[in-house]
Chains A and B, each alone.
Chain A
Amino acid sequence: MFPASRFGCRALAMAARQGVMNPTTHRWPVSCLRFYSSAPTLTREIVMERITEMLECYNKIKPGTPLTEKTSFAKDLGLDSLDSVEIMMELEYEFSIHIADQDQDSIKTIGQAVDYIVKQRDAC
């Protein structure tokens, strides 16, 4: 058990002994409970947003370049093959997935990258 929760229980027990709390009317303080939930499922919009954010931080893309699903890495953004490999590795890291070499070669536009990531079940 964690020290904090043990301390919390002891404080409550003491309060009960001193008659501070009436068990019939007293409600457990909500702050004692913690709720956890899983991350939201990846939708196309979330993936697109995260990729856009990632690309905006990439120093080889001029700020203000319009990024849409149809944007091609090579033609519209002027990136060479080494840059696109770098972007693929960043995508792998960002979404915790592994993109096979032949799949990396087939991804040419942002939309294709989004499609690929949405299809991966373990992406997060």
Chain B
Amino acid sequence: MASAQEILSLYRQFLRYSRQFENYNFREYFLRRSREEFRKLKEFDGDTSAIIEKAKKELGVLRRQSKISQMYHFDKLVVEKVKKH
């Protein structure tokens, strides 16, 4: 059984790596998906260890793919928020 601290730390890493995607569509998709999955996990009662193991594997995929995404240039979309300064 994973502790709340461990799950929150995992959630943080999911959000951090999702944020690093250069492509808007991928970035928003992974942010949305991470949020949804962790919401579901919060509602879930029972043994979460299998889910956590799977999430750790997916985090590895996410990390690698976000790095690959950073190697390419994607034009900003009109809907994207541009930093104020």
Contact = CB atoms under 8 A, between A and B. Distances in A.
Contact of A89 (B4, B15, B38, B39): B15
B70 to A, nearest CB: 16
Contact of B39 (A82, A85, A101, A124): A82
A86 B35 contact: yes
**B interface residue count range (under 10 / 10 to 19 / 20 to 34 / 35 or more):** 10 to 19
Contact of B19 (A39, A81, A82, A89): A89
B25 interface: no
A86 B42 CA distance: 15
B9 interface: yes
B18 to A, nearest CB: 9
Contact of A82 (B9, B11, B16): B11
A80 interface: yes
B68 interface: no
B3 to A, nearest CB: 12
A93 B39 CA distance: 22
Contacts of A82: 8, 11, 35, 38-39, 42
Interface residues of A, number: 12
A87 to B, nearest CB: 11
B11 A85 contact: yes
A85 B8 contact: yes
Nearest to A96: B83
Given A82-B38, A82-B42, A86-B35, A93 B8 contact: no
A104 interface: yes
Contact of B12 (A39, A80, A101): A101
Interface in A55-81: 80-81
Interface of B: 4, 8-9, 11-12, 15-16, 19, 35, 38-39, 42, 85
Given A80-B42, A86-B15, 6 more contacts: A81-B8, A82-B11, A89-B12, A89-B15, A89-B19, A101-B9
